[in-house]
Structure 1
């Protein structure tokens, strides 16, 4: 019999996080199924789980396929109406599931939803990965209600609402299983980083809704697998951002956008040079050349849709760094994504 909700935690050498945060997941998740999908960990995570939580369902993945490939393989084996993709470095709270599931159940067009994401290290403030729901400007720069670049807002109840957004974070992603599989899941070529934004963009183009539910809150450590200063993370973020834009932008806009991003990424490299972060400069160069090598296959494989998911048609870089707008409410003319009329 298909369960209503399955919580799936993808683990890669995260035993220390499982030891710290899994007890609360069990405590506050009622009778919902909990699965651990292990991405070929080498830190005895699986052995520890067998010894301490023998009732937890474990899916062993033969090799580390990253966030995208790991979850795709795991979710093919999990039968449930809703999936909750939960990072191992998340501290959940009491009643974190029901408000989101009830909201999603109110409209079959809601494909994905995220709760409020607060910072584990600073619980009064929003966390970088998702905050109160994600947006993206027309040049591919993601930002959130509650977090724009390095500025995190204090949680004062200003985002305790339910709202349509452009993307929901993969750190704690509630997703309708039928929609996930209809969209063919994550793009495994991403490996990790921005795959959830790409998935949300595709779901929007399929006329689904992506939402945020502020009635639920969790706390995120962040950087559990790759720290933000890791050049590997820099490479994946820059490469995957370009791939995502090329895949999802209208044909007439993608080349212009990629050219502008080439210029802006060059400026970003100069900023890294100024701080002596040469590995990150090399990572950005590698990301661009990797993307250029993928263009022929992207042209062949990219599908076009009649509906174009809405972006923020101003530059969040300009508004943040030049105009000094560091809070979401200061941004000009931003509107939530809406479902077009049939």
Structure 2
């Protein structure tokens, strides 16, 4: 009888499809999956999308987690293409996109679902994200300012102590790509992630598009995710530098008017370029100078990423 009651409760709850993208990081993905095995929310499916790993990731994950559905893309489609493949295969009422370098609290899904189900105008929710190595320090407590004229965004609560100041669920501006919950019906209207981005700024594009459709985005502090991203180590690798610059040009192009985009280009070439070239040259990082300039050129030309040419930077 207990099983029957639990099954009845499960069937009344919206189904959540949890999607992780793996590329050559089986150990990280396995740690994330182990934490997901402890979650309290009963109606879920877990999908791992492998982006063409050649390190035995798929074999290891299948052996260790035989119950998990694994989709093999065959090549690296980035954050956007990987998650899109997962969403296309998913059967849930909600899509939960989760970075593979995260671990989660056992009850992290429940508050987000409760909030999202409370209002049909809520389109998506992101949880509180803290640093794994410093769990008392916040990485994300909601979106902050969006400055498309300079290609800058900010995160509410970033690098601040988790002392209760951000303890209320609030409407916010931006989702965080490390962990976000979105309704299937919203994705059916706004579309999948724009694969032109590949990685970086894609959740900003999605957030802006979701809000343009009239849906709201919320931050839920009772849902906790721990992100294994360093607080101090800068991710100055060529692929990231290339993508960040290419993508913010593209983001400005599709979300601003003519004059605002023109101001952004003026700022990019007149201020940002000089600052970053000086910064990279002071570190003797010619590779970053080249990546920065190639990113700007690719942004102006509206070029898609060519995996053979750029993915070797990663």
RMSD between aligned alpha carbons?
Answer: 2.1
Alignment of 1:265-304 (within 5 A): 265-266=272-273, 267-294=275-302
In structure 1, how many angstroms separate the alpha carbons of the residues matched to 2:227 and 2:211?
A: 26
Secondary structure, aligned partner of 2:15? strand
- Tell me the residue number matched to 2:180: 173
Which of 195, 202, 212 is the aligned partner of 1:195?
A: 202
- Tell me the residue number matched to 1:132: 141
Shift of 1:256: 1.8
Alignment of 1:17-32 (within 5 A): 17-31=28-42, 32=44
Shift of 1:118: 0.2
Q: TM-score normalized by structure 1? A: 0.79
- After the TM superposition, which of the residue ranges 191-200 and 176-185 deviates more from structure 2? 176-185
Question: In the alignment, does 2:243 pair up with 1:233?
Answer: no
Displacement over 4 Å in runs of 4+: none
Secondary structure, aligned partner of 1:80? coil
Contact 2:129–2:224 (Cα < 8 Å) also in 1: yes
In structure 2, how many angstroms separate the alpha carbons of the residues matched to 1:44 and 1:160?
A: 42
Q: 1:29 to 1:236 in 2, by over 3 A?
A: farther
Contact 2:52–2:72 (Cα < 8 Å) also in 1: yes
Q: TM-score normalized by structure 2? A: 0.86
Q: 1:268 to 1:227 in 2, by over 3 A?
A: closer
In structure 2, how many angstroms separate the alpha carbons of the residues matched to 1:72 and 1:19?
A: 21
Question: In the alignment, does 2:21 pair up with 1:4?
Answer: no
Shift of 1:181: 2.8
Shift of 1:3: 5.6
Question: Unaligned regions of 5+ residues in structure 1, if any?
Answer: 298-342
Question: In the alignment, does 2:156 pair up with 1:145?
Answer: yes
Q: Deviations over 1:184-208 (max 9, x none)?
A: 2111111111111111111111111
Shift of 1:30: 3.6
Alignment of 1:31-50 (within 5 A): 31=42, 32-50=44-62
Which of 114, 127, 130 is the aligned partner of 1:115?
A: 127
Contact 1:3–1:79 (Cα < 8 Å) also in 2: no
Which of 208, 211, 216 is the aligned partner of 1:204?
A: 211
Secondary structure, aligned partner of 1:188? coil
Question: In the alignment, does 2:77 pair up with 1:65?
Answer: yes
Question: Unaligned regions of 5+ residues in structure 2, if any?
Answer: 1-10, 305-314
Shift of 1:23: 1.1
Shift of 1:281: 1.8
- After the TM superposition, which of the residue ranges 81-90 and 263-272 deviates more from structure 2? 263-272
In structure 2, how many angstroms separate the alpha carbons of the residues matched to 1:250 and 1:91?
A: 40
- After the TM superposition, which of the residue ranges 116-125 and 29-38 deviates more from structure 2? 29-38
Aligned length, in residue pairs: 287
